[in-house]
Every structure is written in structure tokens, then in C-alpha cells.
Amino acid sequence: MKSVLHIAPENTAGVHYNVMAMQNRFGMRARLLTLYKIPLEYPEDICLDLPLPKGRLATKWRDYKLTKLRQDLKIKKLDSSKHLPYFKPKNLAERMYLARREKKNQRKFLDAVEKYKFNSFDIIHFDGGICFFGDSRLANKWKSEGKKIINCYFGDDLRTRGIIKEMDKLSDLNLTFEYDHTLRHPNIHFLFFPFDNAIVKYISDEEYNKAAKLRIVHAPTHRFLKGTESIISSLEKVRKNRDVEFILLEKMPRKEVIKLKQTCHIAIDQIGSRGGTGYGINSLETLSMGIPTITELGMGMDSWLPENPFINANESNLTDKLTELIDNREMRLKKRGEGKLWVEKYHSFKSVFDKLSALYKKYNII
């Protein structure tokens, strides 16, 4: 079996770690190197824990770049759901900052490359499609040595940051776990991200049905992106006529979030198309628990998603959709079973590994 090295800025939502764990489970030797540690309790393999600006100024700069991109798209009348930006520093100050950060951290990075014998790996996944070095020198070196280079894109990689031209040229295979990325990049392959639903407990019918009052859960990582204010507004309207309890889970240890989710009956992931196409790990957890899950699937994903297990809603009809689900016990029970089976069919380690292996073979990676 070939060996696989994943290099990622951070273990976003635990997905990068799951890909590595999936490959190890089925016989490939895989490791994951992350540069920065996220403040959530997802497991790590090798994390350099490099310093990353997270203060008010850094947040304002990231928000400015996002706002500027949206303004440019509007001015140029470009379709924001299909636009593929190319990354380049926004100004001289950002270029100097990136160069200084690279120089400051490269010793620690190169020490890890040597310590863990990363040069011996056959396949290199650049998660995010970005090399540690701004000029992609390490990716170029490994490519020249006959290693296979794979760019794998997550989250906003292709929505706001864009692709690195040099890395795009070096890539033997482009992968994404985001449906809308397939609308942006002309040569990319979609994978359902691997999820091990053994980590969450399916709520038994007895537990689900015994509560006197239905509990509705919403667990946002970012209020704006998840449309939390719209969700709260709809729930306030519902609670005027229905005796339900609203559970808002924020800034809590992940184990506690999982535990509280398992006491709930309906979940709302997101409303509004501000943060991707509609679902992620949050939804896979609730579906696997047997909790009917409401979300807004954007960019055509509501009609594309095979055997769609979600209750699709938007800001204008969320109150009605919630009321219908609260009142219709049979619908809730039907969705419970559908959700768990759907996660197993499309997001299980075996399902994703089989599809990834097929792509590896098609593009002569293995």
C-alpha cells in the first residue's frame, strides 16, 4: 500500500483527521501534519501549533478581504456561486507579513519534515491546495522526485481565498468536500467527507418519545454564517403557539455539545447561504443520532443531493417548516431512520474510501 502525507493549515471540523484515519483503517500508511491548532476538541496527529493572529485586528483584516471580494463581484456582475478567485497578497503589507511569517516558522516546519521522514511518503495531499512556502518550492521538489501531488479543498478555500496557480499546475488530482467547489473549478472531484458515526449514539425510540416537551437544538460555530438571528426569530414565533424548548449550544466543549444534542428532538443547522452549501459535521452528528435536521441547502444542492435526508427551509418559511415538523410525529419518526441510514450510505469511511481509491486508480496515483 502507498503512504500518504496530509499537510493542512488546521484540522477544520476534524475532517482532515478523519481522512487520515479512514486511510489508515483500510491499510494505507497515512499521517497528518497541521500547522495551527484550532480551539475545538478535535483530535490531532502532528500539530506544529504555530502562532496565528486571532486578535481584533486580524479578524477585521479577514472581514475586510471578504467584504472587498463581495463588492468586487457585485461591481463586475460576476456569479458569486461560480467565481473562482486566484490567491495573491492584497497589498505590500500583506506580502511582507506572509514572507516574515514563513521565514519565522520554516525551521520548525522543516524539522518536522526531517523528524517524521515525510520525504519517504509516496502521495502528498496539500489540504487547502497550499504549500508551506509561498513559492511552492517543497511541492515542486516532491513532484520532481516522482511523488503524486493532490490538492484537496475545504470550506472557503475556493470561495474567498482562491487557488494558488503554481499548486494548481503541479496537482495530479484535485479533490473537494464542498459541492459548490465543483461549480468553480473546471477539473475537480467531489467526495462526501468521511464521518465515523460510531462516535455518536443513536437515540432509541423510547428515549426520543418519552419527553413531554420537544427540544430544538442549534449549535452554531459562527452566528452570522449559520443565520442564528433568523433562527432565533423564527423560534420565538413558534413558541407563541407551541410548547417547545430551544437549546442554543455555543462555545462549549465538544463532548458536552454531543451529550446535550442527544437530549433533543429537532435540529436546525443553518439558514441563509452565507457559509457553504448547507451542512457539515454538525448535521452528520444530529442525523446519526436520529434527530430530524432542518437546514438551507444552497447553490442547487437541494435538488442535487442524492436521497436528500434534510428538511430544506429558508428564512421565509422556517417558522412554517418548524411548526409542521413539531405537529407531525410520523414525519419526525420517518426522518429519524432516513437520516442515520443516509449518513452510513454516503459518509461512512468505507463508502468514501472506495470512491477515493477509484479516483486514485483513475489518475494513476496508485
Return the CA Rg of the chain: 21
Question: Given this model, what pLDDT does residue 61 score?
Answer: 58
User: Are 227 and 305 in the same domain?
Assistant: yes
Alpha-carbon distance of 41 to 47, in angstroms, equals 13
User: Are 303 and 157 in the same domain?
Assistant: no
User: Are 160 and 271 in the same domain?
Assistant: no
CATH number reported for the structural domain that contains residue 276 in this entry: 3.40.50.2000
User: Are 334 and 221 in the same domain?
Assistant: yes
Q: What is the domain range of residue 26? A: 3-194+349-362
User: Are 206 and 165 in the same domain?
Assistant: no
User: Are 105 and 237 in the same domain?
Assistant: no
User: Are 202 and 156 in the same domain?
Assistant: no
User: Are 240 and 180 in the same domain?
Assistant: no
User: Are 15 and 160 in the same domain?
Assistant: yes
Domain count for the chain? 2
Assigned C-alpha cell, 31:
499521517
CATH number reported for the structural domain that contains residue 70 in this entry: 3.40.50
Per-residue pLDDT tens digits of the chain, which is 366 residues long:
799 999 999 998 889 999 999 999 999 999 999 999 987 778 999 999 998 766 566 566 566 566 666 666 566 666 666 667 788 777 787 788 888 998 999 999 999 999 999 999 999 999 999 999 999 999 999 999 999 999 999 877 878 788 899 999 999 999 999 888 888 898 999 999 999 988 889 999 999 988 889 999 999 988 888 889 999 999 999 999 999 999 999 988 888 999 999 999 999 999 987 666 778 889 999 999 999 999 998 777 778 888 999 999 999 999 999 999 999 999 999 999 999 999 999 999 999 999 999 999 999 999
DSSP H helices in the chain: 15-25, 56-75, 92-115, 137-144, 165-170, 205-210, 223-226, 228-239, 254-261, 281-289, 301-304, 318-327, 329-347, 349-362
The SS3 call for residue 113 is helix
Angle at 250 between CA 249 and CA 254, to 5 degrees: 80
Alpha-carbon distance of 126 to 266, in angstroms, equals 37
